[in-house]
Amino acid sequence: MEKVLRELPNMALEKQSENRKFFSKLKKRPPKNLDYLMQDLHEEEFERTDCLECANCCKTTGPLFTNADIERISKFFRMKPSKFIAMYLRTDEDNDHVLQELPCTFLGPDNYCSIYEVRPKACREFPHTDRKKFQQISHLTLKNVAICPAAYNIVEEMKRKLKF
């Protein structure tokens, strides 16, 4: 996995132009069965890819924390939301709450998340490859293929299956 993660940014860069064209066509003509296709591709990929061997999303890109996330996680720590914010979060240029540090403070050396049951919604949903209307988040996916080996493989498989 280490070798894959080392090479992933370059691999994604090489595919960038091809991926841009693909997503532009996908946006214009999304197939009727796209939601089902993405569900299948996502499930097949995550049967092969073990996130515990990777954790690259937790190491390199933090989630944003919604108010509901902050409420839930601070309750888990039996802490006031304001204290949780002061200890772990900062406000970014879009005014969102994000982690003060990367890799994520809650990531253990064994790649387990210490707040897994109450982790932010963005962590639960990453890399968003099983979401409905996948064509609407192409800008995000173009970035995620350089971070997430599973997203990279899913997009490659999409291109093989959907020959525009």
Binding stretches for ligand SF4 (CB under 6 A)? 49, 51, 54-58, 62-63, 104, 106-107, 113, 115, 119-120, 123, 126-127, 147-150
SS3 of 135-155: the string is HHHHHHHHHHCCCCHHHHHHH
Closer to ligand SF4 by CB, 70 or 107: give it. 107
**Closer residue to ligand SF4 (CB): 22 or 153:** 153
| Min separation Cβ 126 and ligand SF4, Å | 5
Please, which residue, 13 or 33, has the CB nearer to ligand SF4?
Answer: 13
CA angle 125, 52, 115 (to 5 degrees): 60
Direct distance between the N- and C-terminal alpha carbons of the chain, in angstroms, rounded to an integer: 31
Cβ atoms within 10 Å of 65's Cβ, excluding its own: 24
Residue 22 CB, shortest distance to ligand SF4, in Å, is 20
